[in-house]
Structure 1
Amino acid sequence: VLRQVIERTVPGTKISTLCIFGDQLIEDICRRVSPGVKADKGIAFPTSVAINHRIQNVAASADMDMMIQVNDVVKIELAVHINGYVASQAHTVVMSANPNEPVSDRRADVICAAKITHEATLRKMRAGVKAEEITNITREVAEFFQCSPVESTYSQAINRYVFSGQKSIPNRYDVAEGKADLEFEIGDVFVLNTCLSTGTGKARDSGMKPTVCQRDVNRTYYFKMKSAADLFETISKNHPVFPFAVRNISDLRQKLGLTECLGHGVINSLPMLVERKERETVAQFQTTVLITHEGPMCLTPPQTMSYVHSNHNIPADSHILALINQNMGKIELPRLSDIHIKVSLATLLTKLQLYRLLYIMPHAHRPYLHTNGNIFFT
């Protein structure tokens, strides 16, 4: 799905067109997965298309007139689930005026920084590693490229029917929040979400109407307006646990009840975050990762990178280079004799079998990004 949305991401396209296309494609493909088997499947996070300084949660509706322009940096995020098991992915592309010539300005710096951070932290995700090490790598690579990790963005542990679990890893530490005190364990599934900015990385609410909402399963309320009660009933039926796009509320009468639902917390809006300075650029990469006894296993395929060249570089003696040069290799299923594994084999096999339905083997790619002195490959 993400690959097809990326292919349609060209100058002159409205972002609402891409969002609607992505959601429809997820639904169409899910209907073809095990058609004779009754299974809950579909969108786990609506297609979001964020341009330039916009960060996330932009599931645009048809009445939003934002259009992709030449030189824009576009971030595409979406997620799908089968029987509650989620696979989420995000990718960044640049709308170059000449695709055969590398982009070499600050857009290239932040894309290189974000991708290298993503590859390095991915390889670091092993049982026993502390979350603090992931955040430190993000900060270190960002400094090499004179970029900043974006606040209020996280990598999240996910569980069945739980899109954001209790375990989270911030891209940057907040003094009030403190450091994430957790270790990776075998059987954990994380959405590794790398988000960097050419600016300070300070995020703010855009002030626009929310485009993504989510039901709070722990709250109830006796509604005063019938439209609010009807809307809540519809959402509880169609989107009981996962985030949904506001544009999918087709009944205009029910949409009038959204304000009451939001006001009493039975439905929460996900803010459309932006970098504080509009002239800055944000890049994002996201992968779903399963922690196995042999290391991290990517459950979502890599996508073709835009052609970019950064004048910054990673020092030759940095441990980051050693990390990104590690071969991910082939992860084998656990052996029955591995009784020391913390998660049961049955649980791990179930996760792998379901995620295989979501994985498409990637094609070989050309070199995707250059830094001053290094060429990195997928």
Structure 2
Amino acid sequence: MAEEVENKEIDYSLNNPDTLTKYKTAAAISQRVLEAVTGWCVEGETIVSVCQRGDKLLDEEIAKVYKGKKIAKGISHPTTVSPSSYVTPYTPLASDAEEAAVTLKAGDAIKIQLGAQIDGFGTIVCDTIIIPSKSNQGDKHPEQEANLLLACHYANEVLLRLIVPPGLLASGTEEEKKKAAAQKPVSQSQITNILQKVVESFGCNLVESTTCWQFERNEIEGQKKIVLAPGEGVKGEGSPDVGEVWGIEMGVSLGSGKVKTLNNRATLHRRTTTTYGLKRPSSRSTLSEIVKKFGTFPFSLRQLDDERAAKVGVVECVRTGVVRQYEVVGDKDGADVARVFSTVALTKNGITRLTGPPTPNLEAFKTDKKITDEEVLKILEQPIARNTGNKSKNKKKKPAKKAGEEEGKTEA
């Protein structure tokens, strides 16, 4: 009982330096594994094998930190590899022969997503890569692929700048700072409109209902969320504030951006806060393993001890609302989709990128399209954090085509 009282008094906010340290430790693992998994994604490789190897490496890397301490740690998001037109994370099962045989194809826009958590502080990262052909790995990206990746990159950069709380990075007199801080945050509809301008510059559209969530301890879908290009009946609520951690998602399509549910088996799940007296022994056994291994973080059925038994046991869990299943969603037109995901912390110095897609090599993109909208270009020139002296201050101004190339991760 004394231990329970003590735990309640622990400050798990970013005011506690230990919280940010744990986030950064989990983030470093996520980034390392993302880099490794990216290297494994080659033409002819099966998606299920990449996912399995990714989770194995996550477990190995997580085991190296906080050794001997009574701190829960594990995977905050299993390794998923989503083919070109898929919007949501995809992780097939070895026991489903047809899907287990799906291989990576040259030219596919592959979305790789994964994450680690330390003491319930989860980080997630996602990047989109184009699978190179074995015969021409050194070539530049064709124009359509280039436009898709550039649209996603720049839209993500603009979004990060739009969520910085008003006045946080303001300079000048105290009166000027107060005036800047008194401004209202950019509304979610305004954010969508600005981002649509960005992606339209490259002939693309935002993916319907792309969602950014506030992260909390043991929770990757907090109370506040930002919904971009919301579908019917979908609505965001709230905006980021100092002291919060957010998962920032950006989805861009070469098609209309509208989505549909695909016929694939739902294999990605997450435990909810709903309680229910499950009737089947197999269901109770499955739920017990879920609680023990994953807590409230997402998991794949292939991560359970017996994959086939899990497919049976999870049915009642989902039907009663004890477990949520994530449907496999794809682009309604079957068009290529790019998606990136970053975990960021908002501090008094601005945004700290905990995880995020690597900065793309802009020289590898072959396209005549570029951003010309003055409002967007002005936003891209804004910083996302104060320069604390850790980074070089002398940077040449970039031409319009490269406007918005990120300055690198800025420490809090």
Pick from 84, 91, 100 the counterpart of residue 127 of structure 2: 91
Distance 1:373 1:213, change over 3 A: closer
**RMSD over equivalenced CA pairs, Å:** 2.4
- What one-letter code is carried by the residue in structure 2 that aligns with 1:230? S
TM-score, L = length of structure 1: 0.83
Deviations 1:5-37 (A, max 9, x none): 111111111111111111111111111012132
Higher helix share: 2
Deviations 1:93-113 (A, max 9, x none): 112333332223322211110
Deviates more, 1:219-228 or 1:252-261: 252-261
2:158, 2:404 within 8 Å by CA — same for their partners in 1?
no
Matched, 1:176 2:233: yes
Give the superposition deviation at 1:304.
5.3
Matched, 1:100 2:156: no
Measure, in 1, the Cα distance between the counterparts of 2:295 and 2:160. 31
Pick from 293, 308, 311 the counterpart of residue 348 of structure 2: 293
1:44, 1:81 within 8 Å by CA — same for their partners in 2?
yes
Give the superposition deviation at 1:66.
1.3
Measure, in 2, the Cα distance between the counterparts of 1:148 and 1:229. 44
Deviations 1:325-370 (A, max 9, x none): 345566659xxxxxxxxxxxxxxxxxxxxxxxxxxx9xxxxxxxx9
Measure, in 2, the Cα distance between the counterparts of 1:253 and 1:74. 30
Matched, 1:165 2:222: yes
Residue 194 of structure 2 is matched in structure 1 by 137
Give the superposition deviation at 1:302.
4.3
Residue 147 of structure 1 is matched in structure 2 by 204
Residue 232 of structure 1 is matched in structure 2 by 287
Q: How many residues align?
A: 339
Give the superposition deviation at 1:77.
0.7
Question: Percent of counterpart pairs with the same letter?
Answer: 26
2:341, 2:356 within 8 Å by CA — same for their partners in 1?
no
- For the residue of structure 1 that corresponds to 2:209, the secondary structure is coil
Pick from 245, 248, 252 the counterpart of residue 189 of structure 1: 245
Matched, 1:324 2:380: yes
Measure, in 2, the Cα distance between the counterparts of 1:126 and 1:189. 12
1:312, 1:371 within 8 Å by CA — same for their partners in 2?
no
Residue 118 of structure 2 is matched in structure 1 by 82
2:249, 2:339 within 8 Å by CA — same for their partners in 1?
yes
Give the superposition deviation at 1:224.
2.5
- For the residue of structure 2 that corresponds to 1:55, the secondary structure is coil
2:377, 2:403 within 8 Å by CA — same for their partners in 1?
no
**Equivalence map 1:9-88=2 (5 Å):** 9-62=41-94, 63=97, 64-88=100-124
Measure, in 2, the Cα distance between the counterparts of 1:181 and 1:371. 36
- For the residue of structure 1 that corresponds to 2:129, the secondary structure is strand
**Equivalence map 1:199-210=2 (5 Å):** 199-210=255-266
1:112, 1:310 within 8 Å by CA — same for their partners in 2?
no
Residue 340 of structure 1 is matched in structure 2 by none
Measure, in 2, the Cα distance between the counterparts of 1:235 and 1:36. 23
2:262, 2:330 within 8 Å by CA — same for their partners in 1?
yes
Residue 121 of structure 1 is matched in structure 2 by 159
- What one-letter code is carried by the residue in structure 1 that aligns with 2:319? G
1:92, 1:284 within 8 Å by CA — same for their partners in 2?
yes
Give the superposition deviation at 1:169.
1.0
Measure, in 2, the Cα distance between the counterparts of 1:20 and 1:57. 14
Measure, in 2, the Cα distance between the counterparts of 1:326 and 1:9. 34
Unaligned runs of 5+ in 1: 334-360, 362-369
Deviates more, 1:126-135 or 1:257-266: 126-135
Give the superposition deviation at 1:249.
2.4
- Give the ranges of 4+ consecutive aligned residues of structure 1 lying more than 3 Å apart after TM superposition: 252-255, 325-333, 370-378
Deviations 1:129-177 (A, max 9, x none): 3352433332221222221111132011110100111211112133533
